[in-house]
């Protein structure tokens, strides 16, 4: 465990657990006998991104999450969906168990056929293939006798009821997965989420404790008084808008895609090259911002935000290609730096867009830009300008310059999802 790690004891209604943490991420759940009940592997894009987990005597499973980091499904190592999850906006969820653990033949139940596959001479005996790893109960990477014994014991405890088959509309997991809404740990005993600084109740749509940052210590005539800023705000969850915001700490709401944009801004090689050019020009670096809307129905937009005319590269939260969109807008920041201002005519806007498309690989605008020009129209104008600029004035005379301009226009249109448009046929 790292120097930041810590062990947090947790006592349930039936028994006590020990939960080792790495910083603010839970990595294990151990029972009183110090056996690992749950082992969690986290991703790097977000604090509550979960890649996979190993459940005691069940094996490994992949964890799938949506754009708001809600856990949507749990799949076995052979790709079978073990459990699916559906959510209301504030995190109340329904878990529907599909295939069971160890359902090797994927027939919807766990029976003697699956046990036989793990046994001596079975199809998966001593195997470490992807299709057989759903029978790897101890998670050591190979199907052996220990796995056969665990699976045999498991099947012997089952009855011919919903434990064997699909379980619809359950209010908590039947497959040992404790993570749900926005990747938070769900405590089924009290039907709430462990939101680090506080517990969150999805039915009440409120935190169960006050916001410690909303309590002020006020001095009045030498006496300190503790005053809440607002009786509503101190229990409010994610700004009352959990479909657009998240709160992994229990202390501060933030947008789901902002961390991803910050990571791209720091580590994407094309953006890094562009930022180097901006530094060489002595200009201010743009600020990457993820918003629900960047205005004008576009996936991305570059503008100067107030106060201070800060260069801002805005990417819409639902943009399908955030990396290329951010590249596009950061390149606009460089263009603004070198040209000192926005283009005022359609040809200028078109040339801006064409250049950004060729650098980023995608045309992010889809509507009005700079308040007066339609980017799609100006993009064509940019292609025409390129053809005239590099030709002898006889556009469409079959020269190599015309061929280059055609390629640029075709690339630009395809990059923005439209039909390819050639200037010269």
Domain's final residue, options 187, 216, 242:
187
Cβ-based neighbour number of residue 160 at 10 Å: 9
Structurally, the chain folds into a number of domains equal to 2
Are both 175 and 273 inside the same structural domain?
Answer: no
- Which SS3 state, helix, strand or coil, does residue 31 take? coil
pLDDT of residue 387: 43
Are both 273 and 403 inside the same structural domain?
Answer: yes
pLDDT of residue 50: 95
Are both 279 and 170 inside the same structural domain?
Answer: no
Are both 70 and 159 inside the same structural domain?
Answer: yes
Are both 301 and 175 inside the same structural domain?
Answer: no
pLDDT of residue 317: 78
Tell whether 328 is covered by a domain.
yes
Compute the distance between CA of residue 103 and CA of residue 99 in angstroms, rounded to an integer: 6
β-sheet bridge partners, residue 217:
226
pLDDT of residue 267: 86
Q: Residue 280 in contact with residue 328, Cβ under 8 Å? A: no
Tell whether 200 is covered by a domain.
no
β-sheet bridge partners, residue 95:
85, 170
Tell whether 201 is covered by a domain.
no
* DSSP string computed for 174-208: SSS--B-GGGPEEETTTTEEEETTEEEETTTTEES
Are both 143 and 275 inside the same structural domain?
Answer: no
pLDDT of residue 373: 58
Q: Residue 200 in contact with residue 192, Cβ under 8 Å? A: yes
Are both 92 and 173 inside the same structural domain?
Answer: yes
Domain's final residue, options 164, 187, 210:
187
pLDDT of residue 372: 53
Residue 154's φ and ψ, nearest 5 degrees, are -65, -50
Are both 20 and 126 inside the same structural domain?
Answer: yes
Compute the distance between CA of residue 78 and CA of residue 62 in angstroms, rounded to an integer: 10
Tell whether 251 is covered by a domain.
no
Are both 44 and 173 inside the same structural domain?
Answer: yes
Tell whether 231 is covered by a domain.
no
Q: How many helices (H) and strands (E) does the chain have?
A: 8, 22
Structural domain boundaries enclosing 162: 6-187
Tell whether 348 is covered by a domain.
yes
Are both 75 and 154 inside the same structural domain?
Answer: yes
Q: Name the residue among 192, 190, 189, 169 with its Cα closest to residue 181.
A: 192
Q: Name the residue among 386, 288, 378 with its Cα closest to residue 331.
A: 288
Q: Which stretches of the chain score pLDDT less than 70?
A: 1-15, 159-169, 214-232, 255-256, 296-297, 347, 362-425
Tell whether 304 is covered by a domain.
yes
Domain's final residue, options 140, 172, 187:
187
Measuring CA to CA, how many Å separate 33 from each of 65, 151, 236, 402, 417?
A: 32, 22, 39, 76, 58
Compute the distance between CA of residue 289 and CA of residue 398 in angstroms, rounded to an integer: 44
- Which SS3 state, helix, strand or coil, does residue 262 take? helix
Are both 285 and 179 inside the same structural domain?
Answer: no
- Give tens-digit pLDDT for 131-155: 899 999 999 999 999 999 999 988 8
Compute the distance between CA of residue 73 and CA of residue 59 in angstroms, rounded to an integer: 16
DSSP classification of residue 254: B
Mean pLDDT of the chain: 78
Which helix (H) or strand (E) is 326 found in, with range? helix 322-339
Tell whether 40 is covered by a domain.
yes
Are both 264 and 406 inside the same structural domain?
Answer: yes
Compute the distance between CA of residue 165 and CA of residue 348 in angstroms, rounded to an integer: 64
pLDDT of residue 249: 86
pLDDT of residue 396: 43
β-sheet bridge partners, residue 242:
none
């Amino acid at each position: 465990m790292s120097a930041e790690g810590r062990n947090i004891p947790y006592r349930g209604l039936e028994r006590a657990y020990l939960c080792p943490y790495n910083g603010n991420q839970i990595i294990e759940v151990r029972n009183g006998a110090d056996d690992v009940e749950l082992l969690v592997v986290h991703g790097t894009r977000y604090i509550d991104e979960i890649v996979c987990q190993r459940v005691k005597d069940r094996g490994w499973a992949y964890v799938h999450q949506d754009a708001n980091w809600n856990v949507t499904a749990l799949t076995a190592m052979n790709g079978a969906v073990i459990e699916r999850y559906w959510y209301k906006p504030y995190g109340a969820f329904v878990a529907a168990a599909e295939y069971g653990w160890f359902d090797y033949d994927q027939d919807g139940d766990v029976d003697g056929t699956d046990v036989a596959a793990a046994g001596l001479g079975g199809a998966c005996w001593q195997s470490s293939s992807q299709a057989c790893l759903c029978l790897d109960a101890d998670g050591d990477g190979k199907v052996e006798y220990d796995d056969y014994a665990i699976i045999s014991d498991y099947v012997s405890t089952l009855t011919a009821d919903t434990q064997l088959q699909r379980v619809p509309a359950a209010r908590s997991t039947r497959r040992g997965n404790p993570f749900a809404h926005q990747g938070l740990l769900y405590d089924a005993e009290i039907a709430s989420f462990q939101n680090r600084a506080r517990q969150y109740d999805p039915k009440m749509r409120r935190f169960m404790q006050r916001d410690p940052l909303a309590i002020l210590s006020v001095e009045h005539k030498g006496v300190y008084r503790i005053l809440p800023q607002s009786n509503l705000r101190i229990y409010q969850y994610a700004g009352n808008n959990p479909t657009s915001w998240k709160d992994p700490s229990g202390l501060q709401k933030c947008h789901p895609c902002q961390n991803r944009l910050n990571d791209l801004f720091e580590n994407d090689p094309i953006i890094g090259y562009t930022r180097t050019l901006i530094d060489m020009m002595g200009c201010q670096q743009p600020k990457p911002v993820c918003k629900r809307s960047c205005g004008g129905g576009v996936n991305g937009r570059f503008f100067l935000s107030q106060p201070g005319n800060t260069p801002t590269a805005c990417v819409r939260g639902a943009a399908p290609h955030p990396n290329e969109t951010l590249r596009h807008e950061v390149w606009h920041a460089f263009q603004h730096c070198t040209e000192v201002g926005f283009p005022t005519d359609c040809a200028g806007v078109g040339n801006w867009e064409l250049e950004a498309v060729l650098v980023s690989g995608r045309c992010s605008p889809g509507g009005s830009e700079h308040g007066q020009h339609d980017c799609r129209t100006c993009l064509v104008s940019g292609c025409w300008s390129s053809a005239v600029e590099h030709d002898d004035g006889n556009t469409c005379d079959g020269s190599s310059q015309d061929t280059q301009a055609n390629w640029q226009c075709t690339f630009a249109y395809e990059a923005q999802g439209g039909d390819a448009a050639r200037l010269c046929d």
